[in-house]
Amino acid sequence: MRPFTFINVAVTADGKMDTFERKGAAISSARDKARVDKLRAESDAVMVGGRTLLDEDPKLTVKSEALRAERVARGLSPNPIKVGIVTKADIQLESKFLNFGTTRVVIFTTNQTSNIQMEALRSRGVEVFIHESERVDLEKALRTLKELGVNRLMVEGGGTLNFELLRLGLVDELSVYIAPMIFGGESAPTAAAGLGVARGAAIPLKLVETEVHEDGGVVLKYQVERSK
């Protein structure tokens, strides 16, 4: 039992999520940002991995006041639950992730996070789940989210988290905005990182929807095919 899980990612035409500088370079157009905001508003929770959480400190809030109001009218919090997957949760207590937007915050981490830090996070109202393993057990984390009432989970990276969820068969859909630009760079992050797989173990996708934007950007929506 787990939530319906989909990954949303923006990449350049050469498949990069950021430049080699890894400072969160802007990729999405205004139209795509509005699309992403709607996806967030329709989700019960939004998840990010450790590098995204610690390096970029995302707010993960719904930007549109109208969309937040629609959520409240449905008896929900203005923003979806924020979920962080991080091996060592050295999150600054004044971070945007923890402090922006009215919603629950859930952190999955390991015992590599100090007890002092865990208690500091809990004192701020963060729900902390500790996995006694080298890395967070993603299957267990998704089961926990389901138990917390999360039925629709949006994943916003980074590449390592994206790949692990796909590798484990925990993703149902993948939406990719392809921006009409090139970043290049061998060290620039891509939409799926990690160790990778051999050609024979490639994760198959089925294209179910396309959307062409007037600025040349394209949105591709895929269903993740299950292995036979």
pLDDT in tens, 18-59: 999 988 889 999 999 999 999 999 999 999 999 999 988 999
Residue 32: phi and psi, rounded to 5, are -70, -35
Of 211, 156, 183, the closest CA to residue 27 belongs to 183
Longest dimension (CA), the chain: 51
Q: What is the pLDDT of residue 45?
A: 98
Residue 199 has pLDDT above 70, yes or no: yes
Percent above pLDDT 90 for the chain:
90
